[in-house]
Structure 1
């Protein structure tokens, strides 16, 4: 008989049992919700990622935005250079422009 030693797997090794916080942390860099769409797109390009975790002033996660969503918003008629990530996440329908 051969003895086999096993070691417990970390919770993050099984994606089914990951928490929302773990998923959002793995989703991409964290940015503040007062960041403009253009700056957010530049951060994504520099980080080589397609999504950002958006946090409020208290560093609480408020949402997740993707490069495709931000590009669609930037190219829409609703876009202005004053548009912030918090505006995109809090305005019903604005992200629907990207779908």
Structure 2
């Protein structure tokens, strides 16, 4: 049976998003902006790869991730959008 995808705000940090996924036993999250528009889908594997990157900081938010799931170079002030599902 396929579970419903959890929706989270793009202001959430990568670390919190991973904790939400672990608590809900979910493998993916639907990311939405402040207007409630879905801006992308992230998986646990993508977020884990970002967290394990040398460019990772605990301030990195989902809205700051580029579409390829890699940590942004010099992400301060960067507001890349996730690809729409």
TM norm structure 1? 0.64
Quick check: which one's helix share is greater? Answer: 1
State the structure with more CA Rg.
1
Pairing 1:63–2:37 present: no
Consecutive unaligned residues in structure 2, runs of 5 or more = 72-85
C-alpha RMSD of the superposition: 1.5
Unpaired runs of at least 5, structure 1: 1-25
1:69-80 equivalences under 5 Å are 69-80=46-57
Relative to the length of structure 2, the TM-score reads 0.74
Would the alpha carbon gap of residues 53 and 78 (structure 1) be closer, same or farther in structure 2, given more than 3 Å must change? Answer: same
The answer to which structure, 1 or 2, has the higher relative contact order (CA under 8 A, 6+ apart) is: 2
